[in-house]
């Protein structure tokens, strides 16, 4: 019973978050491992060669759900990973925005940008990537 409840919760969590990208990004879908690599700084392109730049939310439910569902870490552990890259000269911290609408606005106008928002947020001007 507990396992079933937990599974339903995870499915619901994933369902509340969608991954969006600038319309210039060629891919229409993305694998979970590709998504994890891009958002942890391990990769700067998708499997099809599309160069992408991750955009984060600063905090909030959507941010936490995205990290749990696709990165497998909480916010503290996730940002610790980026600090390792930033302070060892291997990367720059991704841009963090305040809210979903800010992410939509930024992704729509910046080539290669990829982000995540709540499913209910209007997202005209961006493409939605299916996570496989």
- Is 13 or 43 the residue whose CB approaches other proteins more closely? 43
Contact residue for other proteins among 13, 81, 105, 128 (CB under 8 A): 81
Structure tokens at 63: 């941010």
- What is the C-alpha to C-alpha distance for residues 64 and 51, in angstroms, rounded to an integer? 25
Residue with tokens 């590709």: 34
125 binds other proteins, rule: CB under 8 A: no
Q: Which of residues 38-77 bind other proteins (CB under 8 A)?
A: 42-45, 47, 51, 53, 72, 74-77
Q: How far apart are CA 23 and CA 17, in angstroms?
A: 18
Residue placing its CB nearer to other proteins in the complex, 45 or 121: 45
CB 63 within 8 A of CB 103: no
Q: Is 112 in the site for other proteins (CB under 8 A)?
A: yes
Write down the least CB distance from residue 19 to other proteins, Å.
19
| The token pair that represents 46 in the structure block | 């998708």
Strand partners, 56: 96
Question: Which residues form the interface with other proteins (CB under 8 A)?
Answer: 42-45, 47, 51, 53, 72, 74-77, 79-81, 83-84, 86-93, 112
């Amino acid at each position: 019973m507990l396992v079933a409840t937990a599974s339903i919760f995870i499915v619901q969590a994933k369902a509340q978050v969608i991954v969006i990208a600038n319309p210039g990004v060629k891919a229409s879908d993305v694998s979970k491992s590709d998504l994890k690599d891009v958002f942890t700084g391990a990769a700067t392109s998708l499997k099809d060669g599309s160069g992408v730049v991750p955009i984060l939310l600063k905090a909030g439910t959507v941010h936490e759900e995205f990290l749990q569902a696709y990165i497998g870490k909480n916010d503290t552990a996730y940002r610790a990973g980026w600090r390792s890259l930033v302070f060892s000269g291997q990367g720059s911290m991704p841009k963090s925005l305040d809210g979903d609408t800010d992410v939509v606005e930024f992704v729509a106008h910046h080539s290669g940008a990829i982000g995540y928002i709540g499913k209910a947020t209007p997202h005209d001007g961006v493409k939605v990537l299916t996570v496989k």
